[in-house]
Amino acid sequence: MEAITKRSKIKDLLTTEKVGTRVNIKGWVRTFRSNRFIALNDGSCLQNMQAVVDFEKMEEALLKRITTGACLSVTGMLTKSMGKGQDVEIMVESIHIYGNSDPEKYPLQPKKHSLEFLREIAHLRPRTNTFGAVLRIRHAVSYGIHKFFNDKGFYYLHTPIITGSDAEGAGEMFRVTMLDPVHPPVDEKGHADFSKDFFGKETNLTVSGQLEAELAALALSDVYTFGPTFRAENSNTARHLAEFWMIEPEMAFYDLNDNMDLAEEFVKYIISYTIENCREDLEYLTKRAEDEDKSKPQHQRSEMNLIDRLGFITANPFERLTYTAAIDILKNSKPNKKGKFQFPVNEWGMDLQSEHERFLVEKHFKKPVILYNYPISIKAFYMRLNDDDKTVAAMDVLFPGIGEIIGGSQREERYDVLKMRIRELGIDEKDLWWYLDTRRFGTAPHSGFGLGFERMVQFITGMGNIRDVIPFPRTPGNAAF
């Protein structure tokens, strides 16, 4: 009897010289061809390991149980492959089956499935090439983000997920309550009495960690958050989730320009990091997207493939222009003059529609665009008022295909101006006393932005729907798994 062979990951067997040694791998069967060739995948990388069985020497009952989806432990000699399509393979000496998989009922077949179908079996879709690649990239992007900030001396700040403040103004919130849903305690007006609730007040899930991040930035200088975020908007699009992850750096002593510099450097770093560390998965997704493109009409196809597109982003400076300059370009643009825009651009102060942003990014500049200095009327209370009294020091980074990937601003650090803005927008300043306190005690110029994590992963993987870059998407009417 041989000594027990330690399990290897398939990725390690492919990258280290182990030919001629006895190895053990464990994983899930992708296909079993010719009663002889098992394609086994353990998720460590895109590639399968081919395990070759001598079916004349194997028990037939065991062979019958090697079906798509079954989980196996395979031991044998790692050898140069005799066939084409793989460099090495395992000549099987023994097989242990951890888990059967009834081929009649297992929904994944060794063929292409639609993303819509896979979404319905989100518990099994990580076993596909596409989702394996997306999830590995999602990890790398996540790790790259922490590395970027850590290397720059930023501190990772954990902001609360349950929040008692509803002043963020970033949209509808999910209520968190322990009150009896049928017969809650009521106040004299007959409304639910949240003073009797778990926290003694009405609480919600966070829509942003920004305000808390600002508190920490005015002590630690440079911080960032990276956590779940919840929006109860009834948004049904390919780029919205009810639960998503957001990164929010906040920096003391950064003005708007420093903020834009950081945002651009950050995004480019993340993309470069992924290109360097996820080559194989990116190549797979690139090929996948190219195949998909072939079935589309010419004018809908992308000009550049996925990997080239990513490389292009890292190699070229983003276009920076003010809101005012953007309005000028849009006003004089062909689609505007020909009345092709659903929302014509005619006056300064209007909010830009996604068709306008898409025109600037995809047609006019053909690269990422940073718009800044927006009219005060269309932006949030905490953004710093510019000297013209008409605009605020806000900035949005717009990406091809997905639109706004980053939104940020220099924050209003002047106590009186901030208080005035809070009043103007009808927010109860009592809810924000702690926020205003930072402006009373040692205030400082500071800036920050928010990056939608899934939108970043969407751009890097080229996936068209945001529901396919998060393991278990939450959207209106869907909280399965």
Partner RNA sequence: UCCUCAGUAGCUCAGUUGGUUAGAGCACCUGACUGUUAAUCAGGGGGUCGUAGGUUCAAGUCCUACCUGGGGAGCCA
Taking CB under 7 A as the binding criterion, the range among 8-16, 20-28, 116-124, 159-167 that sits at the site for RNA is 116-124
103 binds RNA (CB under 7 A): yes
Question: 170 vs 215, which CB is nearer to RNA?
Answer: 170
- CA distances in angstroms from 64 to 24, 59, 68, 236, 328, listed in the order given: 21, 9, 11, 45, 70
The token duo for 346 is 């005619």
> Closer to RNA at the Cβ: 81 or 314?
81
The CA–CA distances, whole Å, from 154 to 205, 209, 213, 214, 463 equal 25, 16, 12, 13, 30
* Binds RNA by CB under 7 A, chosen from 99, 110, 164, 349: 110
Looking at residue 135, its amino acid is L
Q: Is 109 in the site for RNA (CB under 7 A)?
A: yes
To RNA, the closest distance from the beta carbon of 151 in angstroms equals 23
CA distance 389 to 392: 8
Burial class (CB in 10 A: 0-12, 13-18, 19+), 368: buried
> Whose Cβ is closer to RNA: residue 150's or residue 237's?
237
Convert 205-216 into a string of H (helix), E (strand) and C (coil). ECCCCHHHHHHH
From CA 243, how far away is CA 228, in angstroms rounded?
7
Which residue, 223 or 406, has its beta carbon nearer to RNA?
Answer: 406
CA distance 224 to 60: 58
Rounded Cα distance, 146 and 266, in Å = 11
Shortest Cβ 140–RNA spacing (Å): 19
Which range binds RNA by CB under 7 A, 81-89, 212-220, 255-263, 318-326? 81-89
CA pair distance 452, 199, nearest whole angstrom: 29
C-alpha to C-alpha distance for 234 and 221, rounded to whole angstroms: 36
Site for RNA in 438-457 (CB under 7 A): 450-452, 454-455
| Helix, strand, coil share of the chain (percent; to 5) | 35, 25, 40
CA R_g for the chain = 27
Based on the shown chain and the rule CB under 7 A, indicate whether residue 137 belongs to the binding site for RNA.
Answer: no
Candidates 3, 34, 57, 430; binder of RNA (CB under 7 A) is 34
Beta strands in 288-367 (DSSP E): 319-322
Q: Residue 466 interacts with RNA (CB under 7 A)?
A: yes
CB of 212 to RNA, least distance (A): 15
170 binds RNA (CB under 7 A): yes
Among 24, 47, 68, 221, binds RNA (CB under 7 A): 68
Contact residue for RNA among 5, 18, 37, 444 (CB under 7 A): 37
Distance of closest approach, residue 187 Cβ to RNA, in angstroms: 29
Q: Considering only residues 160, 164, 171, 317, which one is a binding residue for RNA as defined by CB under 7 A?
A: 171
Q: Which is nearer to RNA, 68 or 277 (CB)?
A: 68
- In angstroms, what is the minimal distance from the CB of 378 to RNA? 8
The conformation of residue 65, written as its DSSP 8-state character, comes to T
Q: Which of 343, 347, 354, 355 lies closest to 327 in space, CA to CA? A: 347
Q: Say how far residue 223 (Cα) sits from the centre of its chain.
A: 20
Q: Write phi, then psi, for 424 (nearest 5 degrees).
A: -55, -40
By CB under 7 A, the count of residues binding RNA is 69
Provide the minimum distance between the beta carbon of 33 and RNA in the complex, in angstroms, as a whole number. Answer: 4
Stretch near RNA under the rule CB under 7 A, chosen from 31-39, 184-192, 302-310, 313-321: 31-39
**Nearest distance from C-beta of residue 267 to RNA, angstroms:** 11
| Residue 236 sits in the site that holds RNA (CB under 7 A) | yes
Whichever of 254 and 359 has its CB closer to RNA, that residue is 359
Task: Give residues 265-324 in contact with RNA (rule: CB under 7 A).
Answer: none
Is residue 35 a contact point for RNA (CB under 7 A)?
yes
Q: With binding defined as CB under 7 A, does residue 82 bind RNA?
A: yes
Residues 325-364 interacting with RNA (rule: CB under 7 A): 342, 351, 353-355, 358
Alpha helices in 3-152 (DSSP H): 10-15, 60-64, 115-120, 129-151
Give yes or no for a contact between 372 and 260, defined as CB atoms under 8 angstroms apart: yes
Q: Are 259 and 447 within 8 A, CB to CB?
A: yes
Interaction site with RNA (CB under 7 A): 31, 33-37, 50, 52, 55, 67-68, 81-86, 89, 91, 103-104, 107, 109-111, 113-114, 116-117, 119, 170-171, 208, 231, 233-242, 244, 246, 342, 351, 353-355, 358, 403-407, 450-452, 454-455, 464-467, 476-478
